[in-house]
Amino acid sequence: MHYHLAFDPNLDFSAAEFIAAWNSSIHREEAEASTLSSPATTFLSPEMTGALLSAAASIPAIVIATFVTDYLKKKFPGKTQPVVTVTTICTPDGKPIWIIKKTEE
């Protein structure tokens, strides 16, 4: 199963950071993160960075949101953490893209 991920630049968390952090965590046993060989789609904001998560089994979106939130707590200790949401959109050919965004409070 392949998950295309796109990261909101307002998170101060790039796809490259996600890939490095994910692949050095215990979650790597479930899935491996890598760079996208091409952009996920042309209708996303060009500021968003993308990653590919390859998994043998389904991964719930809450796992990704929790992982990003926990990473941001470590990256910015003492700072109020944003609420992270993961929503899914589909490309015209039906491929899902998970959008990881900072939710406005």
Average the pLDDT over 18-32 and give the result.
91
User: How many H helices and E strands in the chain?
Assistant: 2, 5
Q: Where do the structural domains in the chain lie, given as residue ranges?
A: 2-103
pLDDT in tens, 41-76: 555 676 677 888 888 788 888 888 888 888 888 888
Q: What is the DSSP letter of 66?
A: H
Among 4, 104, 17, CA closest to 67: 17
Whole-angstrom CA distances from 71 to 14, 57, 84, 102 are 12, 23, 11, 14
Global pTM reads: 0.78
User: Is the sign of the CA dihedral 29, 96, 6, 82 positive or negative?
Assistant: negative
| Bridge partners, 5 (sequence order) | 51, 98
